[in-house]
């Protein structure tokens, strides 16, 4: 009798353990799935017409910001997204907006009015966003138009008159056309504010507020920003309702796939160093950053004199000239595009291998935006910076912000006589022994870096 009871208990415990084991395995599968290890676009409940377009674009897996942002937007939540450029943030809001509009459209068939508004700080970014909506939405029957200043408004107003579902705009031209009564924002259901921090940096805060005041209170809002200054948190509190917060790659950690290096070089020798580097034909396409418009023109002229194909892109150029330069660069008709910071926002060139900072930017965060032009969507990229005597302090602050010491390339023909970085997170060099050791270590690393990156 006792034995039977013991046997019964034994079998019972064994079965319970078996069940527990199975449950924990299922749990692990769910956890792994949630970690996104095998997450594909189709796992995000994306509708067939959009999946088809994404497939044609070659997108299979969502990027982390897409994986995190698409589900809550599809559920109807407001969203604050902290993601820098190059993370796939455009698709993170474009895909769910298209999907929600498509499903509504099927149910309501309400043509003509603008139902989604995307605000972007620059013309280039606005065009880029428009291209993304066109690609991802090509099987949805939804149309979009992009409006921005600096060009005649005729084509834009014609497009508006013929009926637009999704409007992508820079703030100035939008306000202008609203005043002229070409645009009515009464039917907006979705509002996305892209690169909100940049928008405020560029002094567009008031314009943005004026636009938001004209939007219907009942709407779904998405705000994307690379950084989180105080003004952005205020804006979030005032325009978003119980937003879901998603965050990827904080601005202080530059994208890991980008190799960064710095050349310490006298101001006067920067031009010669650039020409010297471009003798390396393995550098196929390079985006060069200049702090000023005048500087961008000068660098372009100097390169052309040396037989290197180059064009400049900055605020003094007409919109058409900027677009032409950008297209020439994308189509590899020119090797070098020289840009100022504002003009470069939104430039999205596939397979851009090199970014060169001819001047270091005044704001360290701009450095992160600049180098984010290369290494897009996980590709490899190289960011080289020229640093003269006056820029050493800026370099030190940049290193602090990105929590990384940028490798110094010491062997080049234009080394500054006193080419020691002042301070830096690599530490202040205190005595000769340490200095020798540090330099030997750096030299070894630099040689490897160059071996890997500048030779075929």
CB of 299 to ligand AMP, least distance (A): 25
Piece in contact with ligand AMP (CB under 6 A), picked from 82-90, 199-207, 353-361, 391-399: 82-90
In the complex with ligand AMP, which residue's Cβ is closer, 199 or 429? Answer: 199
Question: Which residue shows structure tokens 């969507």?
Answer: 377
Burial of 179 (0-12, 13-18, 19+ CB in 10 A): exposed
d(CA 376, CA 380): 8
In the complex with ligand AMP, which residue's Cβ is closer, 89 or 115? Answer: 89
117 in Cβ contact with 169 (< 8 Å): yes
How far are the Cα atoms of 130, 231, 260, 439, 444 from residue 408, in angstroms, in the given order? 40, 36, 9, 9, 11
8-state DSSP, 361 = -
124 in Cβ contact with 322 (< 8 Å): yes
In the complex with ligand AMP, which residue's Cβ is closer, 122 or 269? Answer: 122
In the complex with ligand AMP, which residue's Cβ is closer, 156 or 353? Answer: 353
* Alpha-carbon 326 to chain mean position: 17
Q: How many CB atoms lie within 10 A of CB 22?
A: 10
Sign of CA pseudo-dihedral 163, 166, 170, 171: positive
In the complex with ligand AMP, which residue's Cβ is closer, 271 or 354? Answer: 354
Per-position x/- string for 61-80, each x denoting binding to ligand AMP as judged by CB under 6 A, each - no binding: -xx--x--------------
Within 179-218, the residues that bind ligand AMP by CB under 6 A are none
CB of 372 to ligand AMP, least distance (A): 8
Question: Cβ contacts of residue 163 below 8 Å, gap of 6+?
Answer: 111, 112, 113, 143
Q: Could you tell me where the beta strands, DSSP code E, fall in 272-376?
A: 286-289, 310-313, 336-339, 354-357
CB of 94 to ligand AMP, least distance (A): 8
CB of 88 to ligand AMP, least distance (A): 3
d(CA 259, CA 280): 17
Sign of CA pseudo-dihedral 37, 41, 46, 47: negative
Within 401-430, the residues that bind ligand AMP by CB under 6 A are none
d(CA 251, CA 198): 13
CB of 90 to ligand AMP, least distance (A): 3
When binding is defined by CB under 6 A, the residue of 86, 171, 295, 361 that contacts ligand AMP is 86
CB of 161 to ligand AMP, least distance (A): 30
In the complex with ligand AMP, which residue's Cβ is closer, 119 or 273? Answer: 119
CB of 19 to ligand AMP, least distance (A): 39
CB of 77 to ligand AMP, least distance (A): 20
Within 5-64, the residues that bind ligand AMP by CB under 6 A are 59, 62-63
d(CA 423, CA 315): 35
CB of 344 to ligand AMP, least distance (A): 13
SS3 76: coil
Half-sphere exposure of 204 (CA within 13 A, CB side): 24
Within 278-307, the residues that bind ligand AMP by CB under 6 A are none
Burial of 18 (0-12, 13-18, 19+ CB in 10 A): exposed
Per-position x/- string for 322-351, each x denoting binding to ligand AMP as judged by CB under 6 A, each - no binding: --------------------------x-x-
418 in Cβ contact with 410 (< 8 Å): no
When binding is defined by CB under 6 A, the residue of 377, 397, 415, 420 that contacts ligand AMP is 377
Piece in contact with ligand AMP (CB under 6 A), picked from 14-22, 86-94, 228-236, 253-261: 86-94
d(CA 143, CA 146): 11
CB of 418 to ligand AMP, least distance (A): 40
In the complex with ligand AMP, which residue's Cβ is closer, 90 or 300? Answer: 90
CB of 86 to ligand AMP, least distance (A): 5
In the complex with ligand AMP, which residue's Cβ is closer, 33 or 104? Answer: 33
Cα 238-179-346 angle, rounded to 5 deg:
60
Within 87-126, the residues that bind ligand AMP by CB under 6 A are 87-91
In the complex with ligand AMP, which residue's Cβ is closer, 86 or 361? Answer: 86
Total of chain residues touching ligand AMP, rule CB under 6 A? 15
In the complex with ligand AMP, which residue's Cβ is closer, 329 or 414? Answer: 329
221 in Cβ contact with 242 (< 8 Å): no
8-state DSSP, 428 = -
- According to the binding rule CB under 6 A, does residue 376 interact with ligand AMP? yes
In the complex with ligand AMP, which residue's Cβ is closer, 94 or 262? Answer: 94
By CB under 6 A, name the binding residues for ligand AMP.
Answer: 59, 62-63, 66, 85-91, 348, 350, 376-377
């Amino acid at each position: 009798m006792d034995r039977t009871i013991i046997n019964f208990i034994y079998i019972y415990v064994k079965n319970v353990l078996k069940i527990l084991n199975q449950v924990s395995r299922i749990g692990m599968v769910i956890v792994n799935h949630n970690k996104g290890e095998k997450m594909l676009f189709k796992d995000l409940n994306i509708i067939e017409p959009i999946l088809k377009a994404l497939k044609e674009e070659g997108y299979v897996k969502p990027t982390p910001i897409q994986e995190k942002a698409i589900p809550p937007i599809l559920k109807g939540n407001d969203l604050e997204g902290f993601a820098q450029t190059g993370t796939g943030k455009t698709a993170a809001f474009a895909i769910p907006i298209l999907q929600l509009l498509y499903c509504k459209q099927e149910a309501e068939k309400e043509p003509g009015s603008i139902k989604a508004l995307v605000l972007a700080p620059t013309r280039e970014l606005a065009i880029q966003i428009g291209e993304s909506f066109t690609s991802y939405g090509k099987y949805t029957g939804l149309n979009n138009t992009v409006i921005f200043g600096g060009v005649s408004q005729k084509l834009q107003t014609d497009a508006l008159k013929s009926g637009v579902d999704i409007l992508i705009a820079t703030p100035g031209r939008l306000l202008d056309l609203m005043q002229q009564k070409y645009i009515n924002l009464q039917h907006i259901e979705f509002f996305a504010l892209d690169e909100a921090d940049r928008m405020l940096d560029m002094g567009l805060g008031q314009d943005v507020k004026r636009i938001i005041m004209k939007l219907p209170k009942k709407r779904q809002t998405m705000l994307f920003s690379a950084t989180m200054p105080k003004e952005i948190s205020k804006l979030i509190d005032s325009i978003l309702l119980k937003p879901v917060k998603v965050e990827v790659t904080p601005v202080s950690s530059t994208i890991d796939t980008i190799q960064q290096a710095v050349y310490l070089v006298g101001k006067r020798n920067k031009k010669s160093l650039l020409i010297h580097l471009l003798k390396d034909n393995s550098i196929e396409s390079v985006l060069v950053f200049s702090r000023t418009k005048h500087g961008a023109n000068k660098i372009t002229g100097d390169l052309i004199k040396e037989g290197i194909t180059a064009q400049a892109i900055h605020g003094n150029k007409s919109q058409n000239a900027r677009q032409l330069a950008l297209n020439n660069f994308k189509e590899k008709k020119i090797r070098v595009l020289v840009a100022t910071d504002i003009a470069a926002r939104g430039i999205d060139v596939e397979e851009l291998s090199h970014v060169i900072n001819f001047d270091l930017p005044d704001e360290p965060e701009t450095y992160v935006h600049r180098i984010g032009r290369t290494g897009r969507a996980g590709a490899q990229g190289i960011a080289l910076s020229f640093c003269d005597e006056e820029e050493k302090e800026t370099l030190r602050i940049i290193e602090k912000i990105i929590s990384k010491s940028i490798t110094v390339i010491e062997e080049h023909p234009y080394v500054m006589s006193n080419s020691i970085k002042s301070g830096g997170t690599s530490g202040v060099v205190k005595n000769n022994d340490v200095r020798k050791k540090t330099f030997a270590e750096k030299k070894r690393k630099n040689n490897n870096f160059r071996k890997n990156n500048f030779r075929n």
